[in-house]
A and B are shown apart, each in its own frame.
Chain A
Amino acid sequence: MAVSVDEAVSTGPARDHTPSARRLGGRGRSVLEVALLTVLAVVMLFPVLWMIETSIKENRDVYAIPAKFFDFKVTLDHFKDVFASSGGGRSALSVSFLNSVVVAGVSTALATVLGVPAAWAYSRFAVKAKKDQLFFILSTRFMPPVVVVIPIFLMYRQVGLIDSKLGLILIYAAFNVPFTIWMMKGFVDEVPAEYEDAAMLDGYTRLQAFWKFTLPLLLPGIAATAVFALIFSWNEFVFAIFLTSSDNVRTAPPAIAGLIGGTTVDWGLVAAASVVFALPVLVFAYLVRKHLIAGVTLGAVRR
């Protein structure tokens, strides 16, 4: 670094500016940067805003040409249609939302119960071929889902797990275990092993030391990890569409995708369903915003 700083001295022209002129130029730049950021933010958020807007528009405004941005009548009919079917009673969509809650919730719990102890063991003990094991675990997460789904489909057909919530729960848990192990290993590494050693000197067994001293310290990390697993299961589509077929098993992503099957698409309903479906994810994502980097890179990169 020292070398490059020395070189910097010789890049003269900047020196000739008077301080006031430079500050003015700096302010112009900063205005430009804020403007650029605003434009980018608008572009990035526009699709989301447009979907929310569509979900509260009346049908005739949804299909208006040119598109109506402001003067439209607000209606909550589409949201009503998401939850209640036209003939009364619950809609197929609301059933699928419920299925998503069950499948995502149980698979996350399973992945956490299996993954957290494993992560602790990998972090604390000298396991044979640890690096290879960890690479193997991570690599299962990188498999193209559409490739894995072919043999899983055959396997499930054989054992009768096709079109069952249990089948989805198992495959989602298997997909979340690698993530849980990698992310939790990072959290466990941060808890000094000396805590457990000290507890064991006090007469606790290794297991008790883990349970009484390390686990409580890991709870925030477990919560963050579980939320990421939950988001993944909630959003997953490929396994859901190929391994389920009936309305009372199907989760929300394939159910929402199914809304565009016909010749005419009720975009108001699609928008409302998407908004309802996305809301929990956004809330959860906000809760784990501190761990986002670790979460989206499977815990492999930490901030």
Chain B
Amino acid sequence: MSGPAPLTTDQPGQVASATPPAPGWSRRLSDRGLAVTFISPALLLLLAMSVFPLLWALYLSFTDYSATRGGPAHFVGFENYIAILTSAQVHLRAWTTLIYVVGAVALQTVLGFSIAYLISRRTHGRGVLTTLFLVPMMLSPVVVGLFWRFMLDAQFGVINSMLGSLGLGQVEWLTRQRTALISLIVVDTWQWTPFIMLIALAGLTAVPKYLYEAASIDRASEWFRFRTITLPLVWPLLLIAVLFRAIEAFRLFDLVYILTSGGPGVSTETLSFHVYKVAFLGFNTGTASAYGILMVLIVIVLAQLYLRYLNKLKED
């Protein structure tokens, strides 16, 4: 840092001051004007539709406002937050959400990476295979939820029908507490394994061929090649995919709504679904807002992590 540094930093400043300011000034000014006119409409829409509602929610989170009762909102301080953070109900939902997020994302990662690995080893039909595998990801959660509700139906669902013809017992997939959460994880995995697969495949195809060639000249074992070449190079990208999926899974609502509606009991009630119940069935708008703000905080932390890894990846 010390030593020759001041010398070199002085130079550009002198050069800059030596250039004639007039044309540069006018151009920079018009550029700034252009940037403002181009950026501000988009930012205004975001402010109106995201920031303003969120600030409103922040305000409501400190009140006892109820959307149905109407009337004035009374300021209650941190009461809503304390109520949520100390509620045994919310703790239970947090566990359900955690089990669901960890279970689903872990399954997807293993499956998605395996499929990507298998596809990357094929020379023919790679494009067709990839496209076919991607279909679930493109479908609306509503359609996916309905598909699976139909297939998992205890009486005439095709899954139980197949289990039956194999001589296995029937399972009440969506109406038993434990199997309902498993079903949710399975369906989410079905829909989002292609996502991990897609990212992993991009990483796998980007691994330079000469590394493998060098390894095969040295007759390195398959496992060794995988462990020392493939995995370290794909890992950063895979980690981003995992983070992204974790954020998405954490805020999941539609699939739960369609597939199980949180039931049976509260066995599949995630935090997202619980917020909805507090807000739209219980009409405790103030409490729901506090709840939402807490969830947003978690998402922002996750998003920060996501971006940090992203920047790291771009620097490499």
Interface set of A (CB-CB < 8 Å, partner B): 1, 4-6, 8-9, 11, 13-15, 30, 33-34, 36-37, 40-41, 44-45, 47-48, 50-51, 54, 62-67, 114-115, 117-118, 120-122, 124-125, 127, 133, 135-140, 142-148, 150-155, 170-171, 173-175, 177-178, 181, 205-207, 231, 234-238, 242, 253-254, 256-257, 260, 267, 270-271, 274, 277-278, 281-282, 285-286, 289, 292-293, 296-297, 300-301, 303
Q: Which residues of B contact A281 (CB under 8 A)?
A: 138-140
Residue of B nearest to A12 (CB): B219
- B residues 126-171 touching A (CB-CB < 8 Å): 129, 131-143, 145-151, 155-156, 158, 161-162, 164-165
Q: Which residues of A contact B38 (CB under 8 A)?
A: 117-118, 120-121
Distance in angstroms from B297 CB to nearest chain A CB is: 11
What is the total of A-B residue contacts with beta carbons within 8 Å?
Answer: 292
Residues of A within 8 A of B151 (CB): 47, 50
Q: How many angstroms between the C-alpha atoms of A289 and B129 in the bound complex?
A: 12
Whether B251 and A144, one on each chain, are in contact in the complex, defined by CB atoms closer than 8 angstroms, is yes
Binding site for A on B (CB under 8 A): 27, 30-32, 34-35, 38-39, 41-43, 45-46, 48-54, 56-57, 60, 67, 111, 114-115, 118-119, 121-122, 129, 131-143, 145-151, 155-156, 158, 161-162, 164-165, 190, 193-195, 198-199, 202, 206, 211, 214-215, 218-221, 224-225, 228-229, 237, 240-241, 244, 247, 250-251, 253-254, 257-258, 272-273, 275-276, 279-280, 285, 288-289, 291-293, 295-296, 299-300, 302-303, 306-307, 310, 313
B292 cross-chain contacts in A, Cβ below 8 A: 144, 146-148, 150
- Complex contact A256–B143 (CB within 8 A): yes
* Most chain B C-beta atoms within 10 Å of own C-beta, residue among A50, A51, A231: A51
The DSSP consensus for interface residues of chain B is helix
Q: Is the CB of A146 within 8 A of B253?
A: yes
A115 and B42 contacting across the interface, CB-CB below 8 Å: yes
Q: Which has the most chain A C-beta neighbours within 10 Å: B121, B251, B293?
A: B251
A40 touches B54 (CB 8 A): no
Contact present for A144 and B228 (CB under 8 Å): no
26 pairs, A vs B, C-beta closer than 8 Å: A5-B214, A8-B225, A33-B118, A40-B118, A45-B132, A66-B161, A114-B41, A118-B39, A121-B35, A144-B250, A145-B251, A148-B50, A151-B54, A152-B53, A154-B67, A171-B49, A174-B45, A181-B42, A205-B30, A235-B140, A237-B142, A253-B142, A253-B143, A289-B131, A300-B310, A303-B206
In the complex, which residue of chain B has the Cβ closest to the Cβ of A8? B220
* A269 CB, nearest partner CB in chain B, Å: 11
